[in-house]
Structure 1
């Protein structure tokens, strides 16, 4: 018995000692507040893991509270049965336990809620210490009567100690027992070291007091368990009948030598006594029997009180952080000690339900697994924080060692599945489901956890590896620099870029603030907060880059040069179409034109987006930060504000408000959110006029995979190379597209060399008559002819991609170039004029 018994005690306490060391490491890395293991895990590892473990631990504390009270009830009923001739309250032991248990629970709850829990704890501790001293003294003195000997207590001897060395598992409550079931039953008894961590908010100096108190409690408990196990193994026989007469007859015959060989102490049936059968055997070895009873009462009620104190505090901490919906009512505290009365009420209700069940043995394995998971996560939090190499992780605990924490993780994980793998699977599934739920809610918490630090470490490592990786056409990703100004000004441009980059590549939103004087840090921070807020509300993952310069051209050039890092840098610049090109100042048009030229000079691809209704809504809508401030005033309750924010994410009219404060007209909302809306059906037309490396084909393919355009089909229009066999050219293009694995519904050959119709020429001459561009009419014919084809074929399309004309330096003036773009996009659905940098982005190879 003492062999595997000591292994059980040592293994259980090893797990708790390692976990306590990990917990102490976390405690000594900063100020600890209320919330126990929830606070420590959530602030160290991540809020999601902390909330999951914290909530499950709170429930586990309620169950353990009920289990200890049920143990107390069983002891009371045993005393009533022994001292009052089988007296019962109702005649049903189960109902008797329920009545006594509920009464005890209510009394304990009243004591705790009155703030007298600590006084009760100290009282129980004194009684428990007295009971242990009483028992040890009695064992040392030995049995004082043959009645005690006949019931199995024969006094301490090494021979009996050796005899009890091996295991002897017997069925209990109809269940077969083994080492693992015994460990599962014993393990909850060593989890009391968390009692201090559960009330960290009430400690004067938890950073220093908690590690010291926790480690001392584990060591003291371990020594106590070992001493009692050794004394029991050397002083009691396993089975005894309690027949005093038979015992005395045999003992007198053998002259009281090796009395444990007495048949009375080796019975096979009708064995009601002995250390393995009599749950009250310890009273035989005590010097004062009633004190043993009180010690048992004190142990059970002390553990129940600790759970009653800790569970509400942890629930209150979880509720304050607003991780779970519907728990806000439990965040309230009352009185000078901020007592969580609502949380006390819930703890009382849950514990009462468990007491009404009475038989909790069936969930012991699950409870043990929940604790092992909690301990494993605590160890992982310390291990992960040590491994993140974050400069902010500076624990003052001198026994900090990540490999010890790793050992704790291994022991907890192995223990779960070695003991009862079915229960391990069920409890693990429960933890994973709750974790995924919290993860899905995306709690807004920024506590500087090791998970955040590890993200930086991982990215830094991967960026280094990416830098050493050779470029290959199969791994190409379109990376965008979007010159959108402040994100709230041009929402459709941001949404369109997001269609290309979402989940596959980087998007940098660039804003050039034209200013003759340097921007102040305060103003820059305001713009950054405002821009990031807008991106978040739009559901866009992008990086904001803001700089100030005297000219747009120089600012854009700086953005092109400095945006990104290593190979994660934009290679495509996306700008909005300049609607007022024909009426704006020469300087403004020249700057716009130079930005496009500069991008081509820096070997970047260029995209220009034009949409009906325009892209710039800065004169119509409120900036997002102003809107959020108004929402904060109108919604006093934080929970209502968060709910309002969630609705903003789903409905465009909730994000964008008119500058007057009212709702925007529906037509404006439709313009703003056009790329958020799902298209029922239609075409994405690609006018592939020149070979630019394949970017003009790749971008439509990417967008056609998005949910907004998944119902649309791609049509390819390409320019005939000659007036010869057009059917052959069409077949060649179909074959090429299939080898590129580009899905398409139709391939159409066009010819832009034909002369444009007179009506188109006159319309163009009229539109540019005030710009002195008449001498360039002949060079514009291909674009006029292309406009005719666009109006014939793509007027009803959902989206159009057109190869962007190349602005030839010194040969194309800004007005002429913009007149070409006007021809290609006027009165048409959303158009992207795109031109690659001649770098291949499509390949035949697998």
Structure 2
């Protein structure tokens, strides 16, 4: 039976037509006695002749109400929140493209890498290669989003998130492979966000809160200690209830937007008024601002005593001190110096090539107050570190059950979110290269400018806008990762694709995945114990690239084989399918630290064993480029083999343990 409602009161009833008699079923929000609208919902809609006009002509009050109730939780988390609220009886209204897909994708894509590592990537790779890194990563996610659009338009989109959408469209084998990669990537993303938040806290907000003091492993131990505490608190918050995470979603989104706007405003203001961030230079070497405040301090660091006839460092004796402006501004023309790359090995001093100096006969001692490079850099390493900043494109598909028209909202919202973030990243690369000096860009932790966050030196009106905004945004992203990952594991376990994961399908009476949350916290703790954002980011890159490779490969196979159940409305041209798989497969190669750095270390004269010298002579005979290409091809073949093998194992397991109905 159906009833026609007006202001919440049924006017008359219409008998439902039994299925199978050839009559079409009436579909209208006004002809359903379970969805009678109350007075507020009725008056929020305009008077329209057709139902479609109600979605295209919303009132301002309706839009403001939805912004106030914005949430970025995955499908399923929302239902658990409603189960916890006993008094809440009204079902939440369906969301459109902007609130349901576009904003969640924006919040998940913009992350910790933008605030902590993008300036360092620009300074190390140069503006040209940094643009290439950003463009390649954004193309990879854009092509994956096109594959997701094909999946979303292949029949009815089921509720339950991206895993259900992929597994029901492509089959349980590919769905399980994508789901596990997506779960591990989301879990390590939580570790990366927590490490980023702790790095901001200990380096830029409360440096005195460090428990361990000294160089080297002291900072890593501080990261492990505070990261474990933060992970425990976040896990308890998720365990208590996701409704608290939901209430903070709009706050975290506002922090991200305000921080990005302050960067652009600061870049424009720097064209008229340069921010005062002086950098001390000795010859062409950068001096650490933490240790040097006066000339007498410099003398004490470089000489054995404070006497005038004391023995001093050779480089200190032959070169003069100077001071440069760390933020020359948009109109300074500094971008011409920042166009080219400056890859360095671990332990090298950050130098400014345009300044003249008299080189010393021996390398700089790590005990001197210079700004040193903490990691050997290469192009592939920078791609591996930057790639997590373009992930998060599945945030819209995770809310498939909350969307009015998922087939329309998921493709449009995801693609427009990727376009928006790509424009922001590409313009940020140019902005950083045009406003900030190269030595400051290559200074990862801002030691040359007195320990300030490098991107914060460009912000307007104060660096604290970026510091506070990035801290809260990374905390929010970590909470969302710990909220979404257990529910994804629970969905995979309930499908019984892998039998030994069945125990993680159990939950509390209200649906909270307790065991899955415990496993997620343990895996995230492994990432916390690594204690380095630069080490965790490539691991995260591997899982997401495998996830995207599974999605693209499955769509390509379904299209090329012309399977009967694969008829998406958003068709992909065959050249685009080949390009999609090609963009993910080469990046699947491990972003190892030794691909380019081995050759560079030998060229710099770093001490090596006899076996390494034999390898070096072998390199010089046939060429390092050929060796690198062979290694890359071998890793690509191994990656493709793992993909096929995992899909085959999942298929055999599904035969042994069939899916639950």
Distance 1:181 1:123 in 2: 33
Q: Is the 8 A contact 1:311 1:347 kept in 2?
A: yes
Q: Cα deviation per residue 1:138-183 (whole Å; 9 max; x = unaligned)?
A: 2211155543574511110272223211111223565432211111
- 3-state DSSP class of the match of 2:395? helix
CA contact (8 A) 1:61 1:307 kept: yes
Match of 2:419 in 1: 219
> How do 1:361-376 and structure 2 match up within 5 A?
361-362=534-535, 364-376=537-549
Is residue 490 of structure 2 the alignment partner of residue 290 of structure 1? no
Pick closer, same or farther for the CA change 1:428–1:111 going to 2, 3 Å: farther
Q: Given the superposition, is the C-alpha separation of residues 146 and 327 from structure 1 closer, same or farther in structure 2, using an over 3 Å criterion?
A: closer
**Aligned match of 1:140:** 268
Whether 1:100 aligns to 2:226 is yes
* Aligned pair partner of 2:175 in 32, 50, 65: 50
Q: How does 1:699-710 map to 2 (within 5 A)?
A: none
1:233-244 equivalence runs, <5 A: 233-239=433-439
Task: Return the offset for 1:185.
Answer: 0.7
Kept in 1, the 8 Å contact 2:224–2:531? The answer is yes
CA drift at 1:24: 1.1
Q: 1:73 aligns with which of 153, 173, 198?
A: 198
State the partner residue of 2:649.
437
Question: How far apart are the structure 1 equivalents of 2:195 and 2:635?
Answer: 23
Q: Does 2:556 align with 1:344? A: no
Q: Quote the Cα distance in structure 1 between the aligned partners of 2:127 and 2:389.
A: 18
Q: 1:52 to 1:271 in 2, by over 3 A?
A: closer
Shift of 1:302: 3.4
8 Å CA contact retained: 1:319, 1:327: yes
In structure 2, relative to structure 1, the CA distance for the partners of 1:162 and 1:320 (3 Å cut) is same
Deviation string 1:10-29 (CA, Å, 9 cap, x unpaired) is: 11001100100110110111
Show the counterpart of 1:313: 487
Is the 2:191–2:525 Cα contact (8 Å) retained in structure 1? yes
Hey, what's the Cα distance between the residues in 2 that align with 1:216 and 1:300?
A: 23
Measure, in 1, the Cα distance between the counterparts of 2:648 and 2:176: 11
Inter-CA distance 403–108: structure 2 relative to 1 (3 Å threshold) = farther
| Equivalent pair of 2:498/2:654 in contact (CA under 8 Å) | no
Q: Tell me what 1:323 maps to.
A: 497
CA distance, structure 1, for counterparts of residue 562 and residue 586 of structure 2: 27
Match of 2:242 in 1: 115
Give 1:318 shift. Answer: 0.8
- Look up the match of 1:253: none
Contact 1:324 1:438 in 2 (8 A): yes
What is the Cα deviation at residue 375 of structure 1?
A: 1.1
- Residue 88 (structure 1) aligns with: 210
- TM-score, scaled relative to structure 2: 0.57
Greater relative contact order, per chain length (Cα 8 Å cut-off, separation 6+): 2
Structure 1 residues 430 and 361: CA distance shift in structure 2, 3 A: farther
- TM-aligned CA deviation for residue 97 of structure 1: 1.8
The 1:285/1:351 distance shift into structure 2, 3 A limit, reads same
Residue 344 of structure 2: SS of its match in structure 1? coil
Aligned length: 416
User: Residues 232-311 of structure 1 correspond to what in structure 2 (within 5 A)?
Assistant: 232-239=432-439, 272-273=447-448, 280-286=453-459, 287-311=461-485
**Separation in 2 of the partners of 1:169 and 1:79?**
26
What is the match of residue 357 of structure 1?
530
Asked if the contact 1:197/1:210 (under 8 Å) is kept, the reply is yes
Q: Contact 1:140–1:156 at 8 Å: present in 2 too?
A: yes
Aligned residue for 1:154? 328
Q: CA separation in 1, counterparts of 2:438 and 2:505?
A: 51
Aligned partners of 1:388 and 1:382: how far apart in 2?
10
1:129 aligned onto 2:257: yes
SS of the aligned residue for 2:410 comes to helix
The 1:299–1:3 alpha-carbon spacing in structure 2 relative to 1, beyond 3 Å, is farther
Task: Go from structure 1 to structure 2 and tell me whether the alpha carbon gap of 1:271 and 1:343 turns closer, same or farther (over 3 Å shift).
Answer: closer
2:340 aligned with 1:166: yes
CA distance in structure 1 between the partners assigned to 2:509 and 2:545 by the alignment: 35
Q: TM-score, normalised by structure 1?
A: 0.45
Distance 2:182 2:139 in 1: 20
Deviations 1:660-691 (A, max 9, x none): xxxxxxxxxxxxxxxxxxxxxxxxxxxxxxxx
Structure 2 distance, partners of 1:66, 1:130, is 24
Deviation at 1:288, TM superposition (A): 2.2
Distance 1:183 1:192 in 2: 17
Kindly indicate whether the alpha-carbon contact (under 8 Å) linking 1:44 and 1:385 is maintained by their aligned counterparts in 2. no
Aligned pairs (5 A) from 1:370-389: 370-389=543-562
Report how far residue 424 of structure 1 moved.
5.5
In the alignment, is residue 411 of structure 1 matched against residue 538 of structure 2? no
Bigger radius of gyration: 1
* Cα shift at 1:107: 3.3
User: Do the aligned residues in 1 keep the contact of 2:142 with 2:415 (CA within 8 Å)?
Assistant: yes
Q: Kindly report which structure 2 residues correspond to 1:340-739, keeping only aligned pairs within 5 A, or say none.
A: 340-359=513-532, 361-362=534-535, 364-397=537-570, 400-417=572-589, 419-420=591-592, 421=632, 431=643, 434-443=646-655
Partner of 2:35: none
Cα deviation, 1:559-597, whole Å, max 9, x if unaligned, reads xxxxxxxxxxxxxxxxxxxxxxxxxxxxxxxxxxxxxxx
CA contact (8 A) 1:369 1:423 kept: no
The alpha-carbon distance between structure 1 residues 35 and 410, as it changes in their structure 2 partners (threshold 3 A), is: farther
Q: Give the aligned CA root-mean-square deviation in angstroms.
A: 3.3
Question: Aligned to 2:248, what secondary structure does the other structure show?
Answer: helix
CA distance in 1, matches of 2:649, 2:203: 45
Could you give the per-residue CA deviations for residues 711-762 of structure 1, whole angstroms, max 9, x where no partner exists?
xxxxxxxxxxxxxxxxxxxxxxxxxxxxxxxxxxxxxxxxxxxxxxxxxxxx
How far is 1:266 from its partner?
Answer: 12
- Which residue in 2 is equivalent to 1:734? none
Which residue of the other structure, out of 230, 237, 249, is the alignment partner of 2:430? 230
Structure 1 unpaired stretches of 5+? 241-264, 448-637, 640-846
Q: Does structure 1 residue 31 correspond to structure 2 residue 159?
A: no
SS for the counterpart of 1:167 is coil
CA distance in 1: counterparts of 2:193 and 2:557, whole angstroms: 35
Cα contact 1:48–1:439 (8 A) shared by 2: yes
Q: What is the alpha-carbon distance in structure 1 between the residues aligned to residue 204 and residue 635 of structure 2?
A: 35
- Structure 2 unaligned blocks of 5 or more: 1-125, 280-323, 347-372, 593-631
| Change in 2 beyond 3 A, CA 1:216/1:176 | same
Q: Establish whether residue 20 from structure 1 lines up as the match of residue 150 from structure 2.
A: no
User: Where does 1:785-824 land on structure 2 (aligned, <5 Å)?
Assistant: none
For 1:163 and 1:54, the matched residues in 2 are separated by 45
